[in-house]
Structure 1
Amino acid sequence: MGDLGLLQVLPVLFWVALGLLGLGFCVAVSVRRTPHTCYALYALSLIAMLHATPPLLYGEMRYSWAWKHVAVVDAMLRHDGDVPNAGGFDIYNQWPGFFQLNVLIVRATGLESPLGYAMWAQVLANVLLLIPLLLIYRSVTSDRRLIWLAAFVYYSCSWVGQDYFAPQAFTFLLFVSAIALVVRRLPSSRLRDRDASRRAWPPGRLTLLLVIEAAIASSHQLTPLMLITALLLLSLPRRNRRVTLPALTGAVVLTVAWDATVARRYVSENLDSFVEALTRPEANLWSGLSRLADAAPSQVMVSWIDRGLSGGVFLLAALALIAHKWTRRTPLPLLVLFPLPLVLVNAYGGEMVFRAYMFALPAAAFLVAALLLPSTRRVLARMTVVYVVLLAMLGSLVFGYYSKEAMNRFSAGEVAATRYVTTSTPADSLIVSVTFAAPGLETGYDRHERAEITQESTSAKRLLEKNPLAGLEPILGRAGDRPAYVLLNRAQYADVHLNGEMPPGFVERLESDLSASPAFTAVFRNADAVVYRFDAPMAGGRR
C-alpha cells in the first residue's frame, strides 16, 4: 500500500460491487412495496463491505489505539481491577467501564485476551448501531423508504473512524440508544405507548435509560457531556420536558457524581485547562482543521475530501429543513445542532470538530434522506440523482476510511517484534519508538517505561533531526542502569511519511545510524521490524 492505503490495492471488482450495491438499493427505494427485510440486507451488506473487508484481508488487528485498549484490558485482568503505578494510563482507572465490561467477557468466555474478537469490533459496533438508528427514524416517520434511506446515508457518510475497539465506540452506541429511548417518548413520536399521556416514563424504561447513562458516565470523558448537551437542547420545547427532564437530571447527576469521586483526580488536575479553553472558542473551532502543514500531499487531499463530505452533509440537511417544513417539527434539527456548543468550549486535542460531526450525523443523515427521497412523480429522475449523491458520499467515505491503512494495518512480523520487546525483555526496560504506530506497545505498560520520539519537546526533536544518535542519547539516558531498546517497524515509516511529524527520511536515517553504531545490537529482526538493544555506557558510566 502507498500513500492512499487500501484505495490503491483493492481490485476493480470491489468498486464495481460497491456501485452495484448502491444501485440495487436505489432501485429498492423506488419501489414502495420493498419489504424491510430487503432493505436490511442492503444495509448489512454495506456494513460488511466497508467494515469487514479490512479484517478479512489482514491477519492482525488494525489501529494502534485498539491494541492499546486490549493492553489495558490485559492489565486489569492481571491486577484484578485497577492498574497500580499506571502513570499516564491512570485515566483508564478513572473511566474503567468499557474495560471492566471486557474483563467480564474474557473471564466468562474463558479467553486469554479480547484480541480475538476485538479485530471485529467495527463490524459489530456498526451492526448494533443500526437498531437504535432505526428506532429514532421510526419515531419520526412511518415511511419505510425514508427510514432505510436515512440508515444507508448514515453508513455512507460515517467517515470519522471512531468505531474500533474503544470506549468511544462503546459509548457512542449507548448514546444513540439513549437518544432513541428519549425520542420514542416525545410528544412528536409516532411510536409513543398508549400510557405516554399519563406518565412520561414507565419504571422499567427509565431504569434502562439510567443504566445506559451510568455506563456512559463510567466509560468515557466526552460522551456524557454530549448526552447532557443533547438532552438540554431537546428540553427547549416545553412540550418535551416531561420526557427530557428526568433523562437530563439522571445524566447530570450520574456524570457529576462520577467526576467528583472516581474521576476526581483527573478533573482537578485538568480543571485549569478546561477553564482556559472556555475563553478561546475560535481556537477550539480551528484546532482540528489546521493541522495539515506537515502532512503528505495525499493526506492534505484526503482531509479536504473529508471536510467536503462533512460540509455537504450539513448543507443538504439545512436544505431539507427549508424544503420540508414538517422536519422542523421533529427533534432532528436540535439533534444536529447540539454538538456546536462543545466545539466552541473545548478542542479535545484537536478532535472535537470531528467528534461533533460524528454525534450529529444520525440526525443529519435523516434530513439528507428526507431531501433526497423522490415523491410519486418523476421517480426515475430523482433516483438517478439519489444514486449519484450516494456514489459521491461512498467515494468520499472510503478516502477518509481507507487512506491511512499503510500505518493503521500491521503485519504478523510487526506484531512479533512488538511482542518480543514487551514480553522477552527485562522488566522495567525503557522501550523507545519513533511514533505510536506499533501493535501492542502498551502490553505490560505497568512493567515498562515508554518513550515516543514524536512526543518529545521541540528542542529535542530538532536535535534528533540534526543527528539522530546524538538526539537519542538524552532519551536513552532516562533508563539509567536499566536496559533500553529501540523498536522500528514498517508502520512507523508510514506514519512519519503520512503525518509529517518528523522530516522525510528520518526513520531511514535513524535505522542506518543504529545499524552502523557499535553501541546498538539488533536483537530481533524480520522483514517488517527490527529491535535494537542499547549496549554502550552513557556519560559517567551509566547505561
Structure 2
Amino acid sequence: MSVTLRPAPGVQTAPEDPIARLPVVVLGLCVALGAVLFWVPLRGVDLDSVDGYGLIGVLPVPTLLGAAVLALTFVATLSLRRPAPVLLGAQIVVTVVALHTLAQVLEPVARFPTVWQHAGFIEYITRTGTVGISLDARFSWAAFFGMIGFLTEAVGMGSLDPVLKWAPVTIQLLYLLPMAMIVRVMKANWRAKWFAVWLFPVANWVGQDYLSPQAFGYLVYLFFLAILLTWFRPKVLRTRRAGKRGTGREPGRLYLFLFGPKIPGEEPVRVVGTRERSFLVVLLVVLLVVGTASHQLTPYLLIASAAALALVGRNELRALAVIGGVVYLGWISFMAYGYWGPDPAGTLFAGGGNPLQTFLESTTGRISPSEQLGRIQTARILLVLALMALTAIGFLRRRLRGIDDRVAFVLLVVPLSSFGLQSYGGEIALRTYLFMLPGAVFLAAYAFYPDPKPVPVVRSVPRRQRIRRRLPALVAGSFALLLMGGFLTVRYGNEAFEQVRAGELKALDAMITDSKGRPVTLVWVSGEIVTVPEAASQTPQGPWGYRYFELFHWLRVEFAQEPWASNLIKQPPVALTTAEQRSRRPTVEEVLAQMKSQPGTYLYQSRTNDVYQTLNFGLAPDWGERLMREIGASPEFTEVFRDKDASVYKLAKPGPAPDPDPPPAQLTIGVSNWTPAGLIYLPVLICVLAARELRRIRLSPDQYARLRPYTVVAVPLFLGFVAIVVERFLTLKGPLP
C-alpha cells in the first residue's frame, strides 16, 4: 500500500526556484568559455621559437587566460551552498585534458625522448621473444614492457605511435580512479575532498606519466593504497586520548594540541564480507608482485607505506609489508641477477647512504647554468615549497580542531625515506615528490577547508563575518591560479629539448638501413664537463634505440676545453659569457679522429641534442649548425641523411665493416649451491605469509593468538631464505671487500 503525503491545510509548498540553479548554469558556461580560450588560439603556436623557458614563452595570452578561467571557475564551484558533482567532475576532466595534452596536440610525434627508448625495449621483446639483460639495466624489470608488447600483438596494433602520444592523458585520467577511492576514506567536507582531487593532476607536473614502468608502477601504488585504506583499516580506529597533566590547572591550547584527545581523520572502514576481503588480500599480494616486477623504486614505496600504516594503526594486514619485502628481495636475488652479478649493468644502490648529498644533487645541484632554464628549475623548487607550506598549514589547522590526520601524514612523509636509497640518476627528488602527492594534496586542501563538515551558509550575517567566510575561497582561488600557471611553466619548461622531431626518427632509420643490420656506432657531440668520466652521459638527448636497440653503440666526442671551463664543475654551475660560449665547440678534426677510432661509425646530430648541450652545458646556440656546415664541406665525410631536424654522416673512406655483435645475454638467475632451495623456499614462504593474513581477517583482535602456527612455520622459512640470498650474493658476485 502506498501512502501519499500531502501538505497540511494552509501550508503552501514552494516550487523549485529556477534561479537557484542559475549559478551552476553560469559556471558551466564559464568552463566552456575557459576551454575555448585555452584551445582555439593554439593553432598559431610556433614550436621553432621555443627557448629555454619552454612552452610558456610561446603560448598565446588567451590560452593562459583560459587556464585561469578554468582554475577560478572550479574554486567558485566549491563556494556553492551544495555540491554539484557532475559539474565538479567535468571540470576536473577538462582540466586534466587541457594540461596534460597540451604538448601532444602541438607536436606531431610523441614527446619525451625516453618514451621512444621504451618503445625500443618493447620492440626488442616482441621481435626476439626475450629480454637482453646485458643491453640495459631496465631489462631486469621488464614486466611492463612485456605486458605492453603482448597487448599490442594481441590486438594486432602495427604501430605504437598513438599509444605513445596519448598515454600521458590516459594515465592521468586513470590516476583519478584510485584517488576517488582514497578521498572517500578521509573525514573532510565535500569542498576539501573535491579540491584535493583537483589539486592532484594540477600539482603533478613531474612528467612521469608517459608510457613507462614508473607511470604504471605509480598507478599500482595508488590502487594499492586505495584498497588498503578502504577495506583494511581497523574497524575501531586508534586515537589519541587525553594525556596526564599532573597538576590541577586547566590545560592550555599547546598542551591540548600536543597531547589532547583527537578524533580520527578518516571515515569508518567500509564493511564487506569475508569472501570479498579474502579476494582483496590476494589482489594486494598480486599488486606487490606486479609492482616489483615492473619498476625498481615502486616496490620500496609499497612496502614502506604498508609498514608505516600498520605502525600507526591504519593497516590491519601487519605482515603485508613482510610479504612485499620477501617478493622484492626474491626478485633482486633471482630475476635481477644480471643487474648485480659478476658483469653488472648497474649498481642497485648507487648514491645511497648519503641522503643529504643525494637531496642536494637532485634539487639545487640540477639547476642549469643557462639563465632561462635555471629559472624554470628554480620555479619547480619554489612550487614544491609552496605546496609543502600549505600541507603544514593544513595539518596544523586540522590538529587545532582535534583531528588526527595520521594517514595523510604517513603518505606525505614516508616517500622522504627514498633519499637514503639511491640518486636515481639525479631524479630521486622528482620521484619523491611524485609519491608524496597523495598525502600532500589532502593536507593542502585542509589549509582552506579544515572542518570535517561543511560550514552552513547563512545569508543574514554581519558583513565582517561574510568577508571572513569568503576568505578561504579567495585564498584558494589565488593558490589555484599560482598552481595552474606554475604547471604550464615548469611542466613544459624543458620542451626545447624534450620534444621529439620526426626527422630524428628518420635519421635513426637511415643508419639502420645503411648499416644493413650490422652494429652501428653512433658518434655524438657532448659539451658536458665532468671530473669522473664514468659519470658522464653516455647517450645523446634524443629518441635513440627506438628500433633494433641491440645494434647501437655510443661514442662521445670530447673536444678540447679552455682552462676557464673547469669552473663548470663547481656547485652551483657558473653561467658562461657569450665569448666563452662561442669558443666552446668541437672541431672537424676531433670528430674525424673519434670516428676513425672504431669501425661502423656514424656521426649523429639533431636539434634536440644541440639545444640540450647549449642549455645545460653552455655551448653556443648555433654550434651544431656551424659544425654540420664544416662537416658537409669536408671531403672526409659522406652524407647519409639530412633535414632540418637531424643529420647523419659517415666516413667517405670507411674502414672494414664491424663484426656482428654476439647475442645479448638473456635472462638468467645465476646458480649457486643453495639456489635450488631458494626457488622452493620463496613461493612457499609467500604462500604461508599470505595464508596468515587470510586467516587474520577471519579473526577478531582477541583471537590473534591463533596465528602462531603460521608464524612458527614462516620464521624458519624466512631465515633460511635470507641466508640463501646472502649466499648467492657472496658466491655469485664475490666476497665483499
Equivalent runs, 1:241-390 vs 2, <5 Å: 241-243=315-317, 245-268=318-341, 277-292=351-366, 294-325=368-399, 328-373=404-449, 375-376=455-456, 378-390=468-480
Residue in structure 2 matching 1:418, options 495, 508, 521:
508
Counterpart Cα distance in 1 of 2:474 and 2:597? 63
Residue 436 (str. 1) matches residue 513 (str. 2) = no
Following TM superposition, by how much is the alpha carbon of 1:92 offset from its aligned partner in structure 2, in angstroms?
Answer: 3.1
Contact kept, 8 Å, 2:71 with 2:484, in 1: the verdict is no
SS of match in other structure, 1:194: coil
Q: Does 1:186 align with 2:242?
A: no
Q: Which residue of 1 aligns with 2:705?
A: none
* 1:204 counterpart residue number: 279
2:629 corresponds in structure 1 to 512
Shift of 1:216: 0.7
Contact 1:309 1:393 in 2 (8 A): yes
Letter of the structure 2 residue corresponding to residue 112 of structure 1: G
Q: Mapping of 1:59-138 within 5 angstroms?
A: 59-83=108-132, 87-89=134-136, 91-138=137-184
Instruction: State the Cα distance separating 1:452 from its structure 2 match.
Output: 4.5
The residue type paired with residue 629 of structure 2 is S
Q: Is 1:52–1:123's contact at 8 Å kept on the other side of the alignment?
A: yes
When Rg is computed on C-alpha atoms for both structures, the one with the higher figure is: 2
Structure 1 CA distance, aligned partners of 2:157 and 2:345? 39
The answer for the alignment partner of 1:174 in structure 2 is 220
Equivalents in 1 of 2:97, 2:221: separation in Å?
23
Is 1:64–1:436's contact at 8 Å kept on the other side of the alignment? no
Q: Which amino acid aligns with 1:343?
A: F
SS in 1 for 2:365: coil
Partner of 2:612: 495
- When residues 14 and 174 of structure 1 are mapped into structure 2, their CA distance, relative to the original with a 3 A threshold, is same
With the length of structure 2 as denominator, give the TM-score of the two structures. 0.67
Mean Cα displacement is larger for which, 42-51 or 404-413? 404-413
- Deviation of 1:275 (Å): 6.3
Deviations along 1:330-385, one digit per CA (max 9) or x if unpaired, are 31101100012221342222111221111001110110011112845644332111
Q: 2-side partners of 1:524 and 1:31: how far apart? A: 60
State the shift of 1:159 in Å.
1.6
Report the aligned-residue RMSD.
Answer: 3.1
* CA offset digits 1:51-90 (Å, max 9, x no partner): 112112221010100010011101111001223xx6442x
State which of 462, 465, 468 in structure 1 corresponds to 2:587. Answer: 468
Please show how residues 30-69 of structure 1 align to structure 2 within 5 Å.
30-69=79-118
Kindly indicate whether the alpha-carbon contact (under 8 Å) linking 2:134 and 2:345 is maintained by their aligned counterparts in 1: no
SS at match of 1:94: helix
Q: Note closer, same or farther for the CA distance 1:214–1:345 as it changes in structure 2 (3 Å cut).
A: closer
Q: Which amino acid aligns with 1:159?
A: W
Give me the whole-angstrom Cα distance separating, in 2, the residues matched to 1:373 and 1:458.
Answer: 58
Gaps of 5+ in 1: none
The number of aligned residues is 531
Residues 446-479 of structure 1, C-alpha deviations (whole Å, 9 max, x = no match): 12323355899999x99x9574334334542453
Is the contact between residue 454 and residue 502 of structure 1 (CA under 8 Å) also seen in structure 2? no
Amino acid at match of 1:186: R
- The 3 A distance-change label for structure 1 pair 157 and 30 is same
Contact in 2 for aligned 1:433/1:487 (Cα 8 Å): yes
1:526 to 2:643 alignment: yes
1:227 maps onto 2:276 in alignment: no
**Mapped contact 1:430–1:449 kept (Cα < 8 A):** yes
Letter in 2 for 1:31: L
Question: C-alpha distance in 2, partners of 1:30/1:398?
Answer: 25
Query: Cα–Cα, structure 1 residues 246 and 454, in superposed 2: closer, same or farther, change >3 Å?
Result: farther
Tell me which amino acid in the other structure corresponds to 1:25: F
Cα pair distance change 1:455/1:389, threshold 3 Å: farther
How far apart, in 2, do the equivalents of 1:135 and 1:457 lie? 56
Q: Give, as a single letter, the amino acid of the residue that structure 2 aligns with 1:263.
A: A
- Aligned residue among 9, 13, 23 for 2:72: 23
Q: State whether residues 71 and 444 of structure 1, in contact with CA within 8 Å, keep that contact through their aligned partners in structure 2.
A: yes
Deviations 1:176-223 (A, max 9, x none): 111111111213552623258xx7981110111111111110011111
Between the aligned partners of 1:157 and 1:344, the Cα distance in structure 2 is 24
Aligned with 1:33: secondary structure?
coil
Instruction: Report the CA distance shift for 1:372/1:452 in structure 2 as closer, same or farther (over 3 A).
Output: farther
Q: 1:276 to 1:17 in 2, by over 3 A?
A: closer
Range that drifts further, 362-371 or 114-123: 114-123
Structure 2 CA distance for aligned equivalents of residues 317 and 230 of structure 1: 19
SS of residue matched to 2:541: coil
Report the Cα offset of residue 440 of structure 1: 4.3
Contact 2:104-2:166 at 8 Å conserved across structures: yes
Indicate the SS of the match to 1:527: coil
TM-score (norm 1): 0.90
Does the 8 Å CA contact 1:178/1:212 hold for their aligned counterparts? yes
Report if the CA contact (8 A) 1:70-1:113 is conserved. Answer: no
Q: Distance in 2 between matches of 1:468 and 1:70?
A: 34
Question: Which stretch has the larger CA shift, 365-374 or 323-332?
Answer: 323-332
More helix as a share of residues: 1
